[in-house]
Amino acid sequence: MNAHQSLAIGQPIERFEAISPAADEPEAMVRFAGISKTYPAYRGKPGVSALQNIDFAIPRGSITGVIGRSGAGKSSLVRLINGLEKPTTGRVIVDGRDISALAGRELRLAQRSIGMIFQHFNLLSSRTAADNIALPLEIAGWTKADIKARVTELLALVGIADKHDRYPSELSGGQKQRVGIARALATRPSVLLSDEATSALDPQTTRAILDLLANINRELGVTIVLITHEMSVVRQLARDVVVLDAGHVVESGHVADIFTHPKHPITQSFLAEVIGDSLPVSLASRIVAAPSAGGQAVIRLQVRGAGAGDTLVARLARELGLDVSLLSARIDEIGGQQVGSLVLGIPLGIPGEDAVTRTLAFLSQHQFPAEHLGYVA
Ligand SMILES: Nc1ncnc2c1ncn2[C@@H]1O[C@H](COP(=O)(O)OP(=O)(O)OP(=O)(O)O)[C@@H](O)[C@H]1O
Ligand SMILES: [Mg+2]
């Protein structure tokens, strides 16, 4: 299995007892094996079961999105990867080592190969950009000269060579996150964990930071685990996605598959948020709730591949005898695959509403997620 196959994601591990430190699965950078996490009761507050039955692998060199609502367990999951939290049951294998079994100096050494970036950047306000980036190198015992050279290199890598002597209060949010990324990469980690790293940024800055992360993945080969509650972030950057809900993995796989065939209601609601804004304004403004004589019903759906839209329209015409028109078609690159967002017009002649029901039944039968948006005159 190569890095482009991630069949392991979401599939239960059959024999996780058999995983040795020199994992027999070199393509998995992170593997969760039989993981649950329960925070103990504390000062009269009851215990919290944050994660249950977590079994999946994150392929080496991939960008994997972990998406879920607030409280789903996303941060708990990343804190298990870098050993900040211990699992209640199971093991977390990172780069062939069981990080959940390490403590003390061994754990600190292992943590150097796992970088992390945060929503609120977590920079020290009393240190310049350069000195923030230098911090992990100081802790790792690098010499002054080596630190100086490495920090210069990192500032250039993240595109803020001119901010060397700036304090966090003198930097924009995007620049602060660039410092955070440089600091996370300082000790040349093999994994970069991002916990809502763009949630405090505007859309344009988010895009720039996600582009930077894509470059880092491509050029340095760093495996990236992207925690987010925004499907647009997953869609822009990730190839694989894991959907968490109430501490469970409810769906996982290639992003393009999940976008075209979401199965779980939570996934569908995340998708509705990103797909919801994909209608051309000229069309959206014409859609009304009630049908009119001679008008069309409007149905939106997602398809895999650039040519799939035309094929589908032809099949609807042939198999249902409907003169379907393509009101709008948009092709996006999602998870490295082309995904089309189509809006179809279904003629409302006789038998009227029945054409809509038949079209939706046909699409559902062929597993195209579709929704009836309304009508146009
Ligand atoms: N240190 C802790 N002690 C006790 N309970 C915790 C702790 N950390 C998290 N929890 C609880 O575990 C559950 C999962 O929390 P977690 O922070 O992992 O969710 P999340 O998906 O990251 O949410 P958000 O999107 O709001 O950041 C929640 O019910 C939370 O209250
Ligand atoms: Mg969180």
Helix H or strand E segment including 118: strand 114-118
146-192 pLDDT per residue, tens: 999 999 999 999 999 999 999 999 999 999 999 999 999 999 999 99
Nearest CA to ligand 1 atom 26: 70
pLDDT band for position 4 (cuts 50, 70, 90): very low
Predicted local distance difference test score (pLDDT) of residue 2: 40
Identity at 225, one-letter amino acid code: V
CB–CB of 32/90 below 8 Å?
A: yes
Q: Would 153 be classed as within a structural domain? A: no
**Which one of the ligands is nearest to 85 CA?**
1
Rg (CA), the chain: 24
307-341 pLDDT per residue, tens: 777 788 888 888 888 888 888 888 777 777 787 88
Q: Would 91 be classed as within a structural domain? A: yes
Q: Say yes or no: CB of residue 66 within 6 Å of ligand 1.
A: no
pLDDT band for position 24 (cuts 50, 70, 90): very low
Q: Under DSSP, is residue 77 helix (H, G, I), strand (E, B) or coil?
A: helix
Provide the domain limits for residue 43. Answer: 3-113+188-273
Q: Would 48 be classed as within a structural domain? A: yes
Predicted local distance difference test score (pLDDT) of residue 134: 98
Q: In what order do the strands lie in the sheet with 223-228?
A: 114-118, 191-195, 223-228, 63-67, 240-245, 248-254
CB atoms within 10 A of CB 40: 9
Q: Say yes or no: CB of residue 71 within 6 Å of ligand 1.
A: yes
Compute CA distances 25 → 14, 31, 52, 96, 98, whole Å: 13, 10, 23, 8, 14
Which of 220, 241, 273 terminates a domain? The answer is 273
Query: Which two three-digit tokens encode residue 283?
Result: 């069309």
- Looking at residue 84, what DSSP letter applies? S
Q: Under DSSP, is residue 255 helix (H, G, I), strand (E, B) or coil?
A: helix
Predicted local distance difference test score (pLDDT) of residue 207: 94
Nearest CA to ligand 1 atom 4: 39
Which of 248, 273, 298 terminates a domain? The answer is 273
Predicted local distance difference test score (pLDDT) of residue 220: 96
CB–CB of 158/178 below 8 Å?
A: yes
Nearest CA to ligand 1 atom 8: 76
pLDDT band for position 137 (cuts 50, 70, 90): very high
Distance 324 CA to ligand 2 centre (A): 45
Residue to mutate, 37, 38, 45, 48, ligand 1, most ligand atoms under 8 Å from C-beta: 48
On whether both 206 and 353 belong to a single domain, the answer is no
- What ranges in the chain are assigned the alpha helix state H? 74-81, 104-111, 129-139, 144-157, 173-185, 203-220, 231-237, 255-260, 265-275, 281-284, 308-320, 353-365
Distance 224 CA to ligand 2 centre (A): 17
Query: Residue 167 burial (CB < 10 Å; 0-12/13-18/19+)?
Result: middle
Predicted local distance difference test score (pLDDT) of residue 178: 98
Q: Would 161 be classed as within a structural domain? A: no
Helices 129-139 and 173-185: crossing angle, nearest 10°?
Answer: 20
pLDDT band for position 25 (cuts 50, 70, 90): low
How far does CA 134 lie from the centroid of its chain? 29
343-376 pLDDT per residue, tens: 899 888 755 558 888 888 888 888 777 888 888 9
Mean pLDDT across 256-278: 80
Tell me how many domains the chain contains: 2
Q: Comparing 291 with 179, which gets the higher pLDDT? A: 179
Which of 228, 251, 273 terminates a domain? The answer is 273
Distance 11 CA to ligand 2 centre (A): 24
Q: Would 118 be classed as within a structural domain? A: no
- β-pair partners for 298: 345, 374
pLDDT band for position 132 (cuts 50, 70, 90): very high
Predicted local distance difference test score (pLDDT) of residue 187: 97
Q: Comparing 220 with 27, which gets the higher pLDDT? A: 220
Residue 6 has pLDDT above 50, yes or no: no
Q: The CATH number of the domain where 246 resides is what? A: 3.40.50.300
Distance 328 CA to ligand 2 centre (A): 37
Predicted local distance difference test score (pLDDT) of residue 22: 42
Predicted local distance difference test score (pLDDT) of residue 143: 98
Residue 268 has pLDDT above 70, yes or no: yes
In ligand 1, which atom is closest to the CA atom of 45?
A: 4
pTM for the model = 0.81
